[in-house]
Amino acid sequence: MPATIAAIQGALPEQVLTNDELAALYEGWSATKILQKTGIRERRIAAPGECSSDLAVRAAQNLFQSGAARPDEVDFLLFASQTPDYILPTTACLLQDRLGIPKSTGALDFNLGCSAFIYGLSLAKGLIAGGVARCVLLLTAETYSKLIHPRDKSVRTLFGDGAAATLIRSDTVEHIGDFVLGTDGSRYRDLIVAVGGMREPKSAVAPAEQTDESGNVRTAAHLHMDGPAILDFTLTVVPRLVSDVLARNGMTMDQVDLFVFHQANRFVLDTLRKTIRIPAERFYINVEDCGNTVSASIPIALSRAHREGRLKKGDKVMLVGFGVGLSWGATIVEWGMDPATA
């Protein structure tokens, strides 16, 4: 059974963290410098008691209130997050109850970050093609701010919290194309929170703070990103990924109406666009007021591009995710949604 993206809605926390606030913390860094390096002016931050599930609920409620679907139509719920509410139970099970989705619905979590939306689409398409489901709700939500040391400017300037709800329905026409997926687990330490799982559990004694050569402070229980290594990975993998997904779908660059990549930061996106030679008018960037929202970045960008009129029904859209894992994935979808009314 073919599948289509029927609706997308995003949700962001209320609290705003501006470049001016960050510049006051980091000596030698001005708000202008942060904007020039990242393309990000502000990012949204979850409140102390606000979890990824809370943001996911808001995104899903926005979707239901739009009239795209009713909760009782959903027959499978997928939740992608690297900041779940609990180690167990599965957050998707909590979301089924909170959203009033039928108990006959399948529900599962998967732990993947920057590529999660692509993987989630592939799972939803497979569930529909296999006859397991007809209406899949894919929720992607992150509160990475809770993993970041306040004095680690290398990541605190980049990441914001957010969520998105995407509805994938069965259709008579295949609107979601073929996928290219990949993994290089040998480089897992390039983007990691080392302490807190079963391999290195948290202890009663807090891990020691360490300061790197750039003055960033963190502990082993905080997010660590090797920026140069991740950039090298990105510039190596993504251009080839774009070529591979075009070939897999029997298309050329000129046939793609809009390219929506994982919204890492403006520097990375501009570098990729120039390397791959994508015209600026067909390349969507959405980081200035929300930052890198990890698994939610692509669907939030799609929702905004649709609302801004950058997407029209029938457009071919290339979606590309890459990052933590290390992992990557891409597909090409035919946009099936009518023009936005708001």
In a domain, 193, yes or no: yes
Total number of domains constituting the chain: 2
Domain of 37 in residue numbering reads as 3-174
Claim to verify: residue 218 and residue 327 sit in the same structural domain: yes
User: What contacts 24+ positions apart, CB below 8 Å, involve 303-308?
Assistant: 303/8, 303/9, 303/10, 303/164, 304/10, 305/258, 305/260, 306/8, 306/335, 306/337, 306/340, 307/340, 307/342
Active-site entry in 149, 222, 262, 306: 262
Model confidence over 148-197: pLDDT tens digits? 999 999 999 999 999 999 999 999 888 999 999 999 999 999 999 999 99
Alpha helices in the chain (DSSP H): 19-23, 31-38, 52-65, 91-98, 116-129, 153-156, 227-248, 266-276, 297-307
Please give the Cα distance from 266 to 338 (Å, whole number). Answer: 29
Read off the pLDDT of residues 313-335 as tens digits, 9 standing for 90 and up: 999 999 999 999 999 999 999 99
Residues 292 and 319 in one domain: yes
Q: Are residues 161 and 234 in the same domain?
A: no
Q: Which residue, of 122, 148, 174, is where some domain finishes?
A: 174
Do 257 and 158 lie in one domain? The reply is no
Of 113, 143, 174, the one marking the end of a domain is 174
Residue where the block lists tokens 């979590």: 109
Q: Can you give the CATH number for the domain in which 287 is found?
A: 3.40.47.10
Clarify whether 249 is annotated catalytic.
no
325 and 220, same domain (yes or no): yes
Domain membership flag for residue 341:
no
* Catalytic residue (one of 19, 51, 114, 249): 114
- Same domain? 280 vs 163: no
| Residue 165 sits in the same domain as residue 201 | no
Surface-to-core class of residue 287, CB atoms within 10 Å of its CB (0-12 exposed, 13-18 middle, 19+ buried): buried
pLDDT at 342: 41
pLDDT at position 123 over 60: yes
Instruction: Answer whether residue 341 shows pLDDT above 70.
Output: no
The mean pLDDT value of the chain amounts to 95
pLDDT at position 310: 95
Q: Is residue 117 part of a domain?
A: yes
Tell me the per-residue pLDDT of 215-266, one tens digit each, with 9 for 90 and over: 888 999 999 999 999 999 999 999 999 999 999 999 999 999 999 999 999 9
Q: Does 339 reside within a domain?
A: no
Cα–Cα distance between 55 and 98 in angstroms, integer? Answer: 12
Q: How confident is the model at residue 93 (pLDDT cuts 50, 70, 90)?
A: very high
State pTM to two decimals: 0.96
Q: Would you call 262 a catalytic residue per the annotation? A: yes
Residues 243-268 as b/e (b if ≥16 CB within 10 A, e otherwise) read eebbeebeeeeeebbbbbbbbbbbeb
Domain boundary (142, 174, 206) is at 174
Does the annotation count 114 as an active-site position? yes
Q: Which of 117, 143, 116, 177 is nearest to 55 (CA)?
A: 143
> Of the residues 19, 135, 292, 306, which is catalytic?
292
Residue 342 lies in a domain: no
Question: Same structural domain for residues 117 and 196?
Answer: no
Structure confidence by residue, pLDDT tens digits, 36-77: 999 999 999 999 999 999 999 999 999 999 999 999 999 999
Q: Does 207 lie in the same domain as 159?
A: no
